[in-house]
Amino acid sequence: MYIAGVLLLAILFIVWLAVGVKKPNKYTGSGPYKKITVATGSSVDEISKLLEKEGLINSGAMFKLYVYAGNRKLQAGNFYIPTGSNIAEIVVLLGKGSFQERYTFLEGWRIEQMAQILPANAQNEFINSIYTKEGFTFPDTYFFASDASGEYIAKTLRQTFDEKVKPLQPQIDKSGLSLDEIVSIASIVEREAGNFEDKTIIAGILIKRYKNNWPLQADATVQYAKDSNKSVCASSQDCTWWEKISAADLELESPYNTYKKAGLPPTPISNPGLDSIRAVLEYKETPFWFYLTGKDGVTYYSRTIEEHTSNIQKYL
């Protein structure tokens, strides 16, 4: 009876622990991640207290039991813990320690903007890397060791682009456009539209203009041309990008000025997200040839230059 009782208690303990470590924490803070730093030499008890204090685990005792019962090893480093994680998931994360930092590159940023959020010693290497190519440096959230090189970061972003776009290859093959053309148009769409519906309509207008040898007349390309003169501060934190253009800016002599030059700009003008690339592949055919975004943030479309002029007077 004694042995049976001990076995029963052991089984109940194992079940309690197995169920308990899979329960999501009761984190009450905001944001999808919580950053913690586990100092070198921290004990399991110290780590459990840190996690409990931050609201990332429900029970410090259960955390320690789970670590000790499985002889699991925890590492020092910076960790970005998903705020809905359970104990089992957190222990896995803490077993892969490194002093990482989280970098979020926004859709529609140009290369220099991406470089600006990196450590100063990685910025120039990132900009000049063979892997860095405007339009093909995929915007997303990444985690890199604090001493990661600019070359490594650039390579990772380019590989991510290739991985994200690969499933779209059948659509690309049927589109009648090269990947360079698709990305170039998507880079403009990313800057000119906010939601997927508008992106597909604007993509259709740009493609129609491109195929009919009309100037694209996209403000974002002029902004890119203006900002390209800011190379002096490409690696600093004090540049303001994508400023509103004036009528005089439309006369800027640049191959990127699509008011004066027909066809696509020489390169993409930003690094688009997957939705903008999909919008080009799934563009809508409409009777429209013109569009503008009003002061109210709404996009207005028109068939003729007369309608477009009227929309300019009404909404800008």
Contact 144, 121 (CB under 8 A): no
The pLDDT of residue 236 is 44
pLDDT reported for residue 232? 42
Region 6-31: what's the mean pLDDT?
65
Q: Which secondary-structure segment (H or E) carries 220?
A: helix 219-227
Q: Answer positive or negative: Cα dihedral of 107, 109, 112, 114.
A: negative
Main-chain phi, psi angles of 35, to 5 degrees: -85, 130
Pick the residue with more confidence: 172 or 35? 172
- Do 265 and 255 form a contact (C-beta atoms < 8 A)? yes
pLDDT digits (tens, 9 = 90+) for 73-112: 998 888 888 888 888 888 988 987 667 788 999 999 999 9
Residue located via tokens 């699991």? 72
The domain 21-98 is placed in CATH, from the list 3.40.190.10, 3.30.1490.480, 3.40.50.2300, 3.40.640.10, at 3.30.1490.480
Enter the pTM of the model: 0.77
Q: How confident is the model at residue 15 (pLDDT cuts 50, 70, 90)?
A: low
Is 10 buried (19+), middle (13-18) or exposed (0-12) by CB count in 10 A? Answer: exposed
pLDDT in tens, 235-255: 445 567 888 889 999 999 999
β-strand pairing of 77-82 with 33-38: antiparallel
Residue 177 binned pLDDT confidence (cut-offs 50, 70, 90):
very high
Give residue 240's pLDDT. Answer: 75
Domain residue limits, the chain: 21-98, 176-315
pLDDT, residue 7, reads 60
* CA–CA gap between residue 262 and residue 267 (Å, rounded): 14
Mean pLDDT score across all residues of the chain: 88
pLDDT digits 0-9 by tens, 164-176? 999 999 999 999 9
Q: Is residue 234 pLDDT above 70, yes or no?
A: no
Q: How far apart are CA 260 and CA 191, in angstroms?
A: 19
Residue 29, pLDDT > 90, answer no
Residue 292: the pLDDT is 93
